[in-house]
Amino acid sequence: MARILSAIQPSGTLTIGNYLGALKNFVKLQDEHECLFFIVDQHAITVPQDRLELRKKIKELTALYLACGLDPEKATIFVQSEVPGHTQLAWMLTCNTSMGELERMTQFKDKSQKQAAKGQGIGVGLFMYPVLMAADILLYDVDFVPVGDDQKQHLELTRDLAERFNNRFGETFKIPEPLIAKTGARIMSLQEPTKKMSKSDDNPRNFILMTDEPNVIRKKIKSAVTDSDGIIAFDRENKPGLSNLLEIYSVITGESIDSIVARYEGCGYGQFKSDLAEVVVAELEPIQNRMKELLNSPIIDEVLDRGAEQANKLAFKKVKKVEHKMGLGRKK
C-alpha cells in the first residue's frame, strides 16, 4: 500500500481550482492508499494573516475536507502547527539548502513581487516556504504527493533536498513522486484564462469559491471570457477560455473532453455555459450543505485531535532519526 500525503493552506476560501486540482483527488486516493491530508497553517503565516480569521479558516477547511468526502477512518487529517516535527525537520533541511535554490522558486518570485508592490517587506518565511513544504513531505516517507501543476517546482526541490541529505548522511528519506492529474491540474481564471485561478486574486469574477451561492456560480460562468468564433472545441492555446470551461466540466463529471465536445457540436456557448453552471452547482451545493452542518458539530475537533496524535507518532520518530544523523543532542 503506497503512502500518500498532501496539504492545503487555510488562507482565504478555496476555489474550484483547489478542489479540482487537489481535494477531489484526495477523496479518490483514500480508498486504496494510506493517506495523510493536513492543513498548513504555518505556510499561511508566510504572508500576514488576521489571527481570529486564520483560526476560523482552519476549522472551515477541515469541515470542507470532511464535506468533500475525506474520511478520518481512512485518512489521517490534522493541522500542521499541532505536529512540531514539521518545523523541527524544516530547520535541519534549511541547513542543507542554498539561497540560490530558493531564489529560483517561481512562486517565491511572484509572491514577493506582490508583497513589494503593496509596500510590504519580503518576509524570510516566504523565502523559506519550500523548505517547510519539503519537511512536510519528507517527515512521513511518502510515495506520492497529489498536487496541482503549480506545486511541481516545490516537489522537485523536495526530491533534490532528500537526495542530497541521503548522499551526505546516509539513507534517511524516501524520494517522493508528484501525482499531477492530466486534467484539472491547472484550472484557469474565468476572466483572464491565461493565468491560474487563484483564491488570492483581487477580482472575484476570476474564480468560483467552494462557498459561492448557486446564483453567483451561474453568473460567474455566464460572464466567463471565451472567444468569438462560436465553435465548441478544445484548444488551450487559441481558445483558452472555452478550453478551461471544458476542462472544469470534464473533471467534475468524469466525461472525457472529446465526448463533451462531440455532444455540444453545433451548440452555442450559451447552452454549454448554462449546462456547465448546473454541473458545478450540483457538485458544490451538497458539499456546501454538509460543510454548514459540520461546522456546528464537535466532529471537527475530534478528527483533528486524533489526526495530530497519529501524525505526531510518525513525525517524532523521523525527527529523532534525522537529529541522530546530523549529530544533534546527546547520544542515548
Q: Which is nearer to ligand TYM, 85 or 148 (CB)?
A: 148
Q: Which of 59, 74, 152, 199 is catalytic?
A: 199
Beta partners for residue 177, in sequence order: 144
The yes-or-no answer on residue 199 being catalytic is yes
Q: Cβ 326 to ligand TYM, closest distance in Å?
A: 22
Residue with cell 509596500: 119
The whole-angstrom distance between residue 59's C-alpha and the CA centroid of its chain comes to 16
Q: Cβ 12 to ligand TYM, closest distance in Å?
A: 9
Q: Is 136 annotated as a binding residue?
A: yes
Three-class SS state of 45: coil
Q: Is 10 annotated as a binding residue?
A: yes
Interface stretch with ligand TYM, choices 133-141, 220-228, 308-316, 319-327 (CB under 6 A): 133-141
Q: Is 39 annotated as a binding residue?
A: no
First to last CA, the chain: 33
- Which run of H or of E encompasses 177? strand 177-179
25 binds ligand TYM (CB under 6 A): no
Q: Cβ 13 to ligand TYM, closest distance in Å?
A: 11
The yes-or-no answer on residue 196 being catalytic is yes
Q: Which of 24, 57, 111, 239 is catalytic?
A: 111
Q: Cβ 6 to ligand TYM, closest distance in Å?
A: 4
| Long-range contacts, 128-132 (Cβ 8 Å, 24+) | 128/46, 128/90, 128/94, 128/102, 129/43, 129/46, 129/105, 130/102, 130/105, 130/154, 130/157, 130/158, 131/90, 131/93, 131/94, 131/97, 131/102, 131/161, 132/42, 132/43, 132/86, 132/87, 132/90
Residues 147-176 that bind ligand TYM (CB under 6 A): 147-148, 150-151, 154
DSSP strand pairing (177-179 vs 144-146) = parallel
The yes-or-no answer on residue 321 being catalytic is no
Which residue type occupies 317?
K
Q: Is 150 annotated as a binding residue?
A: yes
Residues 175-214 that bind ligand TYM (CB under 6 A): 185-187, 196-197
- Which run of H or of E encompasses 89? helix 85-94
> What whole-number distance in Å separates Cα of residue 97 and Cα of residue 134?
11
Q: Cβ 10 to ligand TYM, closest distance in Å?
A: 8
Residues 93-132 that bind ligand TYM (CB under 6 A): none
Interface stretch with ligand TYM, choices 64-72, 145-153, 225-233, 307-315 (CB under 6 A): 145-153
Query: Which grid cell sits at 70?
Result: 475525506
> What whole-number distance in Å separates Cα of residue 314 and Cα of residue 254?
35
Three-class SS state of 201: coil
47 binds ligand TYM (CB under 6 A): no
Task: Answer whether 81's CB lies under 8 Å from 41's CB.
Answer: yes
Closest residue by Cα to residue 136 from 76, 181, 196, 210: 76
Other C-beta atoms closer than 10 Å to the C-beta of 82 total: 18
33 binds ligand TYM (CB under 6 A): no
Q: Which is nearer to ligand TYM, 151 or 250 (CB)?
A: 151
Beta partners for residue 178, in sequence order: 145
DSSP state for residue 151 in the 8-state scheme? G
Q: Which is nearer to ligand TYM, 237 or 265 (CB)?
A: 237
Q: Which is nearer to ligand TYM, 186 or 273 (CB)?
A: 186
6 binds ligand TYM (CB under 6 A): yes
226 binds ligand TYM (CB under 6 A): no
Residues 303-322 that bind ligand TYM (CB under 6 A): none
Q: Is 149 annotated as a binding residue?
A: yes
Residue closest to ligand TYM (Cβ): 21
User: Which parts of this chain interact with ligand TYM (CB under 6 A)?
Assistant: 5-9, 17-18, 21-22, 40, 43, 133, 136-137, 145, 147-148, 150-151, 154, 185-187, 196-197
Hey, which residues are catalytic here?
Answer: 111, 196, 199
Binding-site residues for L-tryptophan sit at 136
